[in-house]
Amino acid sequence: MKSLIEFGYENLGISAPVKAGQFSVRGNLLDLWLERYKIPVRLDLIGEKIEGIYLFNPLTQDKVKNLQRVYIFAFRSTPVLAPKWAKKQLGETERLFLSEVEEGDYVVHIDHGIARFLGIEFKELEKGSGKTYLILEYAKGDKLYVPIDQIERVTKYIGAISRKPTLNYLGTGAWELTKQKVKESVVLAAADLLHLYARREIAKRTPYSRDSAWQRELEDSFEFQETADQIKAVAEIKKDLESSRPMDRLLIGDVGFGKTEVAIRAAFQAAADGRQVAILVPTTILAEQHYHLFRDRLKSFPVKVEILSRFVDERLQKVVVDGLKNGSVDIVIGTHRLLSKDIEFKNLGLAIVDEEHRFGVEAKEKFKKMRQDIDILSLSATPIPRTLQMALAKIRQVSPLTTPPDNRQPIRTSIGEFDEEKVGQAINDEIKRGGQVYYVYNHIPKIINKAYKIQNLVPKAKVAFAHGRMGDAELEKTMNEFYEGKTDVLVCTTIIGSGLDMPNVNTIIIEDSQNFGLADLYQLRGRVGRSEREAYAFLFYPKNFRPEGTSLERLTAMADADELGAGFKIAKKDLEIRGAGNLLGTAQHGNIALVGFELYIQLLSQAVEQLS
Q: What is the pLDDT of residues 523-537, one digit of tens each?
A: 899 889 888 888 999
pLDDT given for residue 80 in this prediction: 33
H helix runs in 433-496, sequence order: 447-457, 472-483
Residue 21 pLDDT > 70, yes or no? yes
Nearest to 252 by CA among 409, 393, 391: 391
- Percent of the chain, pLDDT > 70? 83
Element (H or E) spanning 511, and its range?
Answer: none
Rounded to an integer, what distance in angstroms lies between the CA atom of residue 146 and that of residue 131?
Answer: 10
- Give 472 or 170, the one with higher predicted confidence: 170
The model's confidence at residue 79, banded by pLDDT at 50, 70 and 90, is very low
Mean pLDDT of 142-159: 89
Domain spans, the chain: 2-66, 84-157, 213-401, 411-563
- 279 and 289 Cβ atoms separated by less than 8 Å: no
- Give 12 or 386, the one with higher predicted confidence: 12
Nearest to 501 by CA among 534, 521, 479, 520: 479
- pLDDT, tens only, 280-332: 998 888 898 899 999 999 999 999 999 998 888 889 999 999 999 999 999 99
- Work out the burial of residue 554: count CB atoms within 10 Å of its CB; fewer than 13 is exposed, 13-18 middle, 19 or more buried: buried
Cα angle, residue 408 at apex, residues 281 and 534 outer, rounded to 5°: 100
Rounded to an integer, what distance in angstroms lies between the CA atom of residue 110 and that of residue 154?
Answer: 6
CATH class of the 411-563 domain in this structure: alpha beta
H helix runs in 371-432, sequence order: 385-392, 420-432
| Cβ contacts of 477 within 8 Å, gap of 6 or more | none
- Work out the burial of residue 521: count CB atoms within 10 Å of its CB; fewer than 13 is exposed, 13-18 middle, 19 or more buried: buried
In DSSP terms, which residues pair with 49 in a beta bridge?
46
Fold exhibited by the domain 213-401: Rossmann fold (3.40.50)
pLDDT given for residue 278 in this prediction: 97
A 10 A CB-CB count for 67 gives 17
The model's confidence at residue 119, banded by pLDDT at 50, 70 and 90, is confident
| Cβ contacts of 158 within 8 Å, gap of 6 or more | 575, 576, 579, 580, 592, 596, 597, 598
pLDDT given for residue 571 in this prediction: 66
- pLDDT, tens only, 439-456: 999 999 999 999 999 999
Rounded to an integer, what distance in angstroms lies between the CA atom of residue 312 and that of residue 325?
Answer: 18
Residue 82 pLDDT > 90, yes or no? no
Nearest to 386 by CA among 592, 566, 166: 592
pLDDT given for residue 114 in this prediction: 96
Rounded to an integer, what distance in angstroms lies between the CA atom of residue 99 and that of residue 357?
Answer: 27
Chain centre to alpha carbon of residue 433: 30
- 440 and 465 Cβ atoms separated by less than 8 Å: no
Does domain 84-157 fall under CATH 3.40.50.10490? My reply is no
The order of strands in the sheet holding 63-66 is 10-11, 22-26, 29-33, 41-46, 49-56, 63-66
The order of strands in the sheet holding 436-440 is 411-417, 535-541, 505-510, 436-440, 489-492, 463-466
Given this chain, do its domains 213-401 and 411-563 carry the same CATH topology? yes
Residue 364 pLDDT > 80, yes or no? no
Q: What is the mean pLDDT of the chain?
A: 83
Q: φ, ψ for residue 243 (rounded to 5)?
A: -95, 175
Does domain 2-66 fall under CATH 3.30.230.70? My reply is no
